Amino acid sequence: MNQKQLAGEKAADYIEDGMTVGLGTGSTVFYTIQKVGEAVKNGLRIKGVSTSASTTKLAQSLGIPLISIDDVDKIDLTIDGADEVDPNLNGIKGGGGALLFEKVVANASAKVIWVVDPAKKVQTLGKFPLPVEVIPFGAQRLFRYFEKQGLSPVIRDKENAPYVTDSGHYIIDLHLEEIREPEQLATWLDSLTGVVEHGLFLNGADLIVVGEAEGPEIIEKNRNS
């Protein structure tokens, strides 16, 4: 069993009967969703809230009942992946392009668990490019602005065309190498017209499950904050 699978399957243990569960997106949470599908076949009763078209397709193929985010008052637990996590449980997410829906679902959740492999643990965020989701109108203008600010932007592409998110937006990845003041950067990005969302998830997780070779490591927020 690989490290991603160890983390993903361990996180499924936190799901209880009757919960409304946010289902994240990515290669690690894929294993969580598979484990949930098995549990549903064995009688577990939950409702899932999907964070992407790919997760919706996977959940439906496994027989997991889904409900719209607009039809729930709150989500009991969301399990998702992350591209980087620092010791304060701040993270960068959005490598898979689902950052907007992931943040909407996370903000509606009573508890958030991230599942990661050990390589995602970092002391300082920023080595992984920071995704910034922008509307197509004026995207090149924002790109040039980021260039002038020295943020090394790259418009994410797919098959020689701009990558388009599930909500019809583009992503500009900022190659920053190091983010010393994530709160300040998040506030600044939030203030820019045309920016829909960014991949800084600050105070975003209550618990991290790390798929270590010797077994899953659990890191809780109160140990690090």
Known catalytic residues are 102
Structure tokens at 202: 């600050």
Residue 190 main-chain phi, psi, to 5 deg: -60, -25
Following CA atoms 68, 57, 207, 13 in sequence, which dihedral angle do they give, to the nearest 10 degrees? 100
Of residues 84, 90, 118, the one with CA closest to residue 106: 90
Give Rg (Cα) of the chain. Answer: 17
Residues in the chain: 225
Spatial neighbors of 211 by CB under 8 A, at least 6 apart, are 2, 3, 4, 5, 6, 7, 8, 10, 28, 115, 116, 117, 118
Q: How far apart are CA 124 and CA 122, in angstroms?
A: 6
